[in-house]
């Protein structure tokens, strides 16, 4: 701890959940900047983990371990010889947490325990626990700083709060060099299409309805995944921040209707695709983060304006239909019908 700036040029980095959306983008980003580093990806390849998300990475730069962060043997095998750990592995969709909360507790809390125990044994140099702004609960006024109380309102948010606090306890008790990050809503390429942005892009391409919960006025801060990855690299390198919690956000506070309108405009699709449907239970109205701390510590600032980021994201899904079309069959289709098929339509937008 406090040893000075961490050199990533030849580091060996364990990325859990590295075949998922943010994890795989981080692997591409890190190796793009530090081609002599080596990444070990540990991923269970559940529904949202896609091995093809790592296509294009040189074989000599990547070791893939198919395993679960809840499995001590798989974790020990993957972490052996690593200097740094980033834990992206998580159950991460609020709707699914309402449907099956137990899975979230197992992965997002017990999985962190298994990782932290092994990191302590292997004397890992830095362990970043990737969390979420949702641990703060609704922020109806102002912006949540890192010292705000945690008031999670969904099983997903509660499980992430439990996991990050357990990781922090390993720093406070044993000196494990933990850094906790809380990031706002990510969007960008390779995002599993249950999430709002890729769901609405792909539905619109297929001329299917876009199911907007309630009024559609719930507000979030939206950060392009590349900006999130750059922030994580800055925090991996920065000296003397063990035990810190750091917010990451972009200051792009937009409601769901604004996101929906931007997507439809970019695709040249009509607003009549919008369907306002019955809201989900406990739907938080607003999240907002104070991100002054990460700028003060590292100098990092987001670089992707939302209009450019969403345009590039829409273009990626248009150009990569062979990636998402197979996903939207089978298990996804059954989940989609369970989540949206039975919801009462409150209003259809008229031409």
Catalytic residue annotation: 133-134, 156
Would you say 83 and 77 are in contact if contact means Cβ atoms under 8 Å apart? no
13 forms bridges with which residues in the sheet? 39, 84
Q: Say how far apart CA 229 and CA 231 lie, in whole Å.
A: 5
The values of phi and psi at residue 248, to 5°, are -130, 120
Q: Say how far apart CA 198 and CA 200 lie, in whole Å.
A: 5
Helix (H/G/I), strand (E/B), else coil: 245: strand
Find the DSSP H helices in 134-275.
155-174, 196-205, 225-237, 256-267
Would you say 27 and 52 are in contact if contact means Cβ atoms under 8 Å apart? no
Tokens found for residue 142: 């102002």
Give me the DSSP letters along 121-167: HHT-SEEEEEEEGGGG----SS-B-TTSPP---SHHHHHHHHHHHHH
Would you say how long the chain is, in residues? 351
C-alpha dihedral sign at 146, 298, 227, 39: negative
86 forms bridges with which residues in the sheet? 15, 128
Sequence-ordered list of residues with C-beta below 8 angstroms from that of 342, at least 6 positions apart, any chain: none
Strand order in the sheet with 274-277: 210-213, 274-277, 345-348
Give me the DSSP letters along 13-75: EEEETTTSHHHHHHHHHHHHH-TT-EEEEEE---TT--GGGGTTS-GGGEEEEE--TT-HHHH
């Amino acid at each position: 701890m406090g040893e000075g700036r961490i050199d990533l040029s030849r580091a060996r980095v364990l990325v859990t959940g590295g075949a998922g959306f943010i994890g795989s983008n981080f692997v591409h980003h890190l190796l793009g900047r530090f081609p002599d580093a080596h990444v070990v990806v540990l991923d269970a390849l559940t529904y949202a983990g896609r091995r093809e998300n790592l296509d294009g990475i040189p074989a000599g730069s990547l070791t893939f371990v198919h395993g679960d962060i809840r499995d001590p043997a798989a974790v020990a095998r993957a972490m052996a010889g690593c200097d740094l750990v980033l834990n992206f592995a998580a159950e991460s969709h609020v709707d699914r947490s309402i449907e099956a909360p137990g899975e979230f507790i197992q992965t997002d809390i017990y999985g962190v325990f298994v990782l932290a125990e092994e990191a302590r044994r292997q004397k890992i140099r830095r362990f970043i626990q990737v969390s979420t702004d949702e641990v703060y609960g609704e922020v109806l006024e102002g912006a949540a700083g890192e010292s705000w109380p945690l008031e999670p309102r969904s099983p997903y948010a509660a499980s992430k709060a439990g996991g990050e606090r357990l990781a922090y306890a390993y720093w406070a008790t044993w000196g494990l060099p933990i850094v906790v990050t809380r990031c706002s809503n990510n969007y960008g390429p390779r995002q599993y299409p249950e999430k709002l942005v890729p769901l609405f892009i792909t539905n619109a391409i297929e001329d299917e309805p876009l199911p907007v919960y309630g009024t559609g006025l719930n507000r979030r801060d939206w950060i392009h995944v590349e900006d999130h990855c750059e922030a994580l690299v800055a925090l991996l390198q920065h000296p003397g921040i063990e035990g810190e919690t750091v917010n990451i956000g972009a200051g792009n506070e937009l409601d769901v209707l604004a996101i929906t309108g931007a997507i439809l405009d970019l695709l040249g699709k009509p607003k009549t695709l919008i369907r306002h449907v019955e809201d989900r239970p406990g739907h938080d109205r607003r999240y907002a983060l104070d991100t002054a701390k990460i700028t003060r510590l590292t100098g990092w600032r987001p670089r992707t304006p939302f209009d450019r980021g969403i345009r590039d994201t829409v273009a990626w899904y248009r150009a990569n239909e062979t990636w998402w079309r197979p996903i939207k069959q089978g298990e996804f289709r059954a989940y989609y019908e369970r989540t949206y098929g039975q919801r009462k339509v409150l209003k259809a937008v008229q031409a």
